[in-house]
Structure 1
Amino acid sequence: MAHVSGERGQATRQRLLDAAVALVPEVGWGGVTTRLIAERAGVAPGVVHYHFPSVTDLLVTAGLGVTGALLDRLAEELSASPGIEESVDWLVGELSRYSGTDPASLLLTEMFLAATRLPQLRERLFEQLAAFRSRVAAWLVRRGHGGDDAYATAVMLAAAVDGVMLHRALDPDFDLAAIAGPLRALLGHGED
């Protein structure tokens, strides 16, 4: 019986996380309340605080789950790619999935803003970002980049991806194909 209860608790916790991820793009980080989360998850408001000490803790956990998975997938795909050309093609294709105003883009934008005010979010988001940068730098070194330059290039790549997502929200005619050449130049240093 305890096993069923534990599974039910995990399922409820996941519904709360999913509700938070869906609500942030709709109402903004600061607009998410216990009541909204409970309604979206189909639970009583007290259940939210049974699983999380605060709405902020729930939002941080939910958001970091999304960013962690996204950064891991980006790093894995880049690392698995045989060369810079293929990596850039894949990355430009991946970025085309995000308009800047889609739910995932809005969640990331809200998280970045919230991180300026919430030290625990800023620290944990930076840990994820630093791990992503290190993985990309290691991939670049395998592709012929120098050590220190590879990490700086990984920093620039991460900033470029973030910037593209922000710019697409403001410029619906943003030409992703036009950035492929500069990205190849950024990443291609040292590759034969």
Structure 2
Amino acid sequence: MVERSAERGRATRQRLFDAAVALIGEVGWGGVTTRMVAERAGVAPGVVHYHFASVNDLLVEASAAFAGALFGEAARRLTEQPDIGSGLDWLLGELSGYTGADPASPLIVEMYLAAGRHPELRDRLRVMIDDFRSQVASWLRVNGHTGDAEAAAVLLAASVDGLVLHHSLDPATDIAALAAPLRAMLTGQPG
């Protein structure tokens, strides 16, 4: 009986997370209300506050879980690539799917904006980004990067963020065409 109740609680929390993540992308961080989340999740508004002290706490938890999975998977898959060139080709191919119309792009943009107002979110994002950068720096060193791998990882991570923003504003941007300059930046050799 207790196990089934805990399972129902986890399922409800997941529905709340899913609703919050979708709504952040649709109406913006500040536009999400308890009532909207409850309606989207198919629960009474009081259920939101049973699980979370505030709607902001829910937004932080839900967006951090989503972003953590996204960044973690990107780092894992990038670092599985056998060399820097293959990694950049893979990464740029992945980024071409972030058009601004996808669910992840607006959520991540909203998270970055909200992080300026919510220290807990800022701290959680910082940890995720630091972990991503650390994994990328290690991968760069293993694959022959001869410069400052940590600095290169920061530049690559910032490039990813910028490319997602630029691509959402101009979906005609040919992201694959950026492989040569990025390769030159990371390997010191022309693309």
Q: TM-score, normalised by structure 1?
A: 0.95
* Distance in 2 of aligned mates of 1:156 and 1:51: 38
Report if aligned partners of 2:167, 2:173 keep a CA contact under 8 Å in 1: yes
- Partner of 2:30 in structure 1? 30
- Partner of 2:39 in structure 1? 39
- Partner of 1:101 in structure 2? 101
Identity of aligned residues (%): 61
* Distance in 1 of aligned mates of 2:186 and 2:65: 28
Root-mean-square deviation over aligned CA pairs: 1.2
Unaligned ranges ≥5, structure 2 = none
- For residues 110-149 of structure 1, what are the structure 2 equivalents within 5 Å? 110-146=110-146, 149=148
Shift of the alpha carbon at 1:184? 1.1
- Partner of 1:86 in structure 2? 86
Q: Report the more deviating stretch, 54-63 or 176-185.
A: 176-185
Per-residue displacement from partner, 1:141-172 (whole Å, max 9, x unpaired)? 1112247x100000000000000011112212
The one-letter code sitting in structure 2 at the alignment partner of 1:186 is M
- Partner of 1:57 in structure 2? 57
Shift of the alpha carbon at 1:78? 1.5
Q: TM-score, normalised by structure 2?
A: 0.95
Task: Find runs of 4+ consecutive structure 1 residues off by over 3 angstroms.
Answer: none
Aligned pair 1:48/2:48, yes or no? yes
Report if aligned partners of 2:96, 2:167 keep a CA contact under 8 Å in 1: no
Q: Report the more deviating stretch, 81-90 or 27-36.
A: 81-90
Shift of the alpha carbon at 1:187? 2.3
* Distance in 2 of aligned mates of 1:86 and 1:169: 24
- Partner of 1:174 in structure 2? 173
Unaligned ranges ≥5, structure 1 = none
Report if aligned partners of 1:144, 1:189 keep a CA contact under 8 Å in 2: no
Aligned pair 1:77/2:38, yes or no? no
* Distance in 2 of aligned mates of 1:146 and 1:70: 28
Shift of the alpha carbon at 1:188? 2.0
The one-letter code sitting in structure 1 at the alignment partner of 2:157 is A
The one-letter code sitting in structure 1 at the alignment partner of 2:182 is L
Report if aligned partners of 1:100, 1:167 keep a CA contact under 8 Å in 2: no
* Distance in 2 of aligned mates of 1:105 and 1:49: 27
* Distance in 1 of aligned mates of 2:38 and 2:78: 38
